[in-house]
Amino acid sequence: MNLKDKNAIVTGGSIGIGTSIVKALAQAGANVALNYRRHADEANEVVAEIEKLGRKGLAIQADVSSYDAAMEMVKKVVDEFGSIDILVCNAGINRDATIWKMEEQQWDDVMNTNLKGYFNYIHAVAPYFREQNHGRIINITSINGMRGKFGQSNYAASKAGIIGLTKTVARELGRSQVTVNAIAPGMILTDMAKKLDQKWLDIAINETVLGKLGEPEDVANLVVFFASDFSGHITGQVVSVDGGQYI
């Protein structure tokens, strides 16, 4: 799948699944800009890896929950790269608690990052995509947005909201030849996940039908497919990458 000369933005691209997505897009030929909030060193390392591949890389400190920061980042990327073709909304946080213990700030923080953050960047790229009559939007959601998860009412609600956002924007931008799809990972073996107590990993493994957890590259490979011409007639879809964990 060839993304040569395509320009992409990946939110939350400095760590975890986001880093794998950035690298996969660059390996496929794209120039990639990523945002970070706190992980400046990691973001700069990712940019260095992009540039080793002969692509343009750009790291921008931006809080995805800020509407103004999103507008400024997209404009800067267009100024630096010349255009924008691909948006991957990936940045997310969790602030877990049962509904009777959850504080208002925990709810607001997760919704502002996980859902409003996606709106901010989609809203910012939409005029460019409409004008050029082309674009790819890939939203990272979660199987917990489809099934719910004990202690994650805020996270699950935000991820369910991303699914509704995906389908609606697919309808709104379809006539502009913009495809909008979502990927719903299950438990993925990121560096953070590897630090969990083994009992929690075992629970997730036992939920799968393949008997194993996914790797960040499993998600990244699907992002590249959705960003490519191979997926040109697919839009408004949610694809799970979970080894059968949800079914």
Domain boundaries, the chain: 7-238
15 vs 68: CA distance, rounded Å: 23
106 vs 111: CA distance, rounded Å: 9
CB 69 within 8 A of CB 62: yes
Model pTM score: 0.96
Which residues are identified as catalytic? 155
- Residues 6 or more apart whose Cβ sits within 8 Å of residue 224: 1, 3, 24, 25, 28
95 vs 226: CA distance, rounded Å: 29
80 vs 14: CA distance, rounded Å: 19
Q: What are the b/e assignments for 82-121, b being 16+ CB within 10 Å?
A: eebbbbbbbbbbbbeeeeeebeeebbebbbbbbbbbbbbb
CB 147 within 8 A of CB 207: no
Bridge partners of 138, per DSSP, are 88, 181
- Residues 6 or more apart whose Cβ sits within 8 Å of residue 70: 62, 64, 117, 120, 121, 123, 124
CB 92 within 8 A of CB 113: yes
Mean pLDDT of the chain: 96
Q: What is the pLDDT of residue 194?
A: 86
The CATH number of 7-238 is: 3.40.50.720
pLDDT tens digits for 186-238?
999 988 788 888 999 999 999 999 999 999 999 999 999 999 999 999 999 99
- Tell me the CA distances in angstroms from 145 to 42, 55, 150, one per residue in order: 28, 34, 12
pLDDT tens digits for 34-47?
999 888 999 999 99
177 vs 180: CA distance, rounded Å: 10
Q: Helix-strand-coil percent breakdown of the chain, rounded to 5?
A: 50, 15, 35
pLDDT tens digits for 18-37?
999 999 999 999 999 999 98
pLDDT tens digits for 137-161?
999 999 999 999 999 999 999 999 9
Q: What angle do CA 145, 117, 180 make, to 5 degrees?
A: 65
- Tell me the CA distances in angstroms from 109 to 41, 44, 158, one per residue in order: 24, 26, 11
Q: What is the pLDDT of residue 193?
A: 85
Q: What angle do CA 128, 157, 182 make, to 5 degrees?
A: 40
